[in-house]
A = this chain, B = another copy of it.
Amino acid sequence: MPTGVAHPIDTLAVVGVGLIGGSVALAARRRGLAARVVGADQNAQTLQTSLARGILDEAAAGIEEAARRADVVVFCTPVDRVASQVRVAAAACRPGTLLMDAGSTKAEIVRDLDDLPGAAPFVGCHPLAGSEKSGPEHARADLFDSALVVVTPGDRTLAEALARARDFWHGLGAHTRLMSPEEHDRALALTSHLPHLAASALAGIVPPLWLPLTASGFRDATRLAAGDPALWAAIFHANRDALLDALDKLGEQLDSFRHALQADDRSRTETLLGQGFAQRAALGRSPDPSGE
């Protein structure tokens, strides 16, 4: 870090230094958002790798130490651990320390943390970035460039904490969009969790003998299945009501295809394929992820 430069944040702590946490640290350092980045991770090897790769300035002995030293703490840990870790940090940190997460589900976490004292404000966040890869070795300083971060205030979230959270992500190069935690979870069930589930199902049902008959289309369609099963099981179960609704919607669409095939109604099949084609094409034409 160059000396003599004022940074918006003195000490940033990242809890969970994987692909997302490592990328938060790298982006904050590259953009001069924080004078110092401290990391906590239950895996000592991950901390060593992160220090060696210049992702972190320092490793903290645990969440309490990281929280005590930080002005801002970002939790990039599995969704089933975020709430309890935030409570540990909230009890240890100085008043005014901003606590945020980066989890893929929001309603359960925001609800669980609704009773936190205002002195250690928590704001739920979800950066729509990442990949099937994991670990700090895949962290990238540009992961959030032009990415969308959904910020999901709860009923008691204070406006000042919300503004600081959004400024943080804007400082990393991202756009932000406000949604209720519940709407976020319903939307992500369809745009992320269900596609992951379907990719896994498609990959899982092919007899191994026929795997050599797959080409680039199958690789694309099943890439999400390479995500860590334990992490994704936690996400699915944290959002299971919305995911079950999404599964119903997929089942209805698959049934429509089935009926068209059974009736040998090719024009109906073409219409159904046209729905997916049009929405996929719209995605290609308007890549602007900003909701602002």
A: which residues have CB within 8 A of B?
Answer: 128-132, 147-148, 150, 177, 187-188, 190-192, 194-208, 210-230, 232-234, 236-237, 240, 243-244, 246-247, 249-254, 257-258, 261-262, 264, 266-267, 269-277, 279-284, 286, 288-291
Closest to A198 in B: B198
Per the bound structure, the CA–CA distance linking A190 and B264 in Å amounts to: 19
Residues of B within 8 A of A219 (CB): 283
Which of B131, B191, B249, B276 meets A200, CB within 8 Å?
Answer: B276
Per the bound structure, the CA–CA distance linking A211 and B286 in Å amounts to: 10
Per the bound structure, the CA–CA distance linking A284 and B133 in Å amounts to: 13
Given the interface pairs A192-B215, A218-B191, the reply to whether A233 lies near B130 with Cβ below 8 Å is no
Query: Which residue, of A188, A200, A223, A288, has the highest number of chain B Cβ atoms within 10 A?
Result: A200
Given the interface pairs A194-B202, A205-B190, A253-B201, the reply to whether A211 lies near B269 with Cβ below 8 Å is no
Query: Which residue, of A128, A132, A196, A213, has the highest number of chain B Cβ atoms within 10 A?
Result: A213
A270 and B229 within 8 A (CB) = yes
B202 and A276 within 8 A (CB) = yes
Residues of B within 8 A of A277 (CB): 200, 203, 225-229
Which of B129, B203, B205, B250 meets A280, CB within 8 Å?
Answer: B203
CB distance from A209 to the nearest CB of B (A): 8
Given the interface pairs A208-B282, A224-B220, the reply to whether A254 lies near B201 with Cβ below 8 Å is yes
A191 and B214 within 8 A (CB) = yes
Contacts A191-B213, A208-B279 known; 5 new A-B pairs at CB < 8 A: A191-B210, A211-B279, A229-B273, A237-B261, A237-B269
Per the bound structure, the CA–CA distance linking A264 and B241 in Å amounts to: 10
B217 and A223 within 8 A (CB) = yes
A237 and B224 within 8 A (CB) = no
Given the interface pairs A240-B264, A276-B203, the reply to whether A257 lies near B190 with Cβ below 8 Å is no
A195 and B202 within 8 A (CB) = yes
A206 and B279 within 8 A (CB) = yes
Per the bound structure, the CA–CA distance linking A46 and B225 in Å amounts to: 38
Per the bound structure, the CA–CA distance linking A270 and B228 in Å amounts to: 9
Closest to A237 in B: B266
A270 and B230 within 8 A (CB) = yes
Query: Which residue, of A197, A201, A266, has the highest number of chain B Cβ atoms within 10 A?
Result: A201
B273 and A200 within 8 A (CB) = yes
A218 and B204 within 8 A (CB) = no
A253 and B205 within 8 A (CB) = yes
Which of B129, B222, B249, B272 meets A195, CB within 8 Å?
Answer: B222
Which of B207, B221, B274, B286 meets A220, CB within 8 Å?
Answer: B221
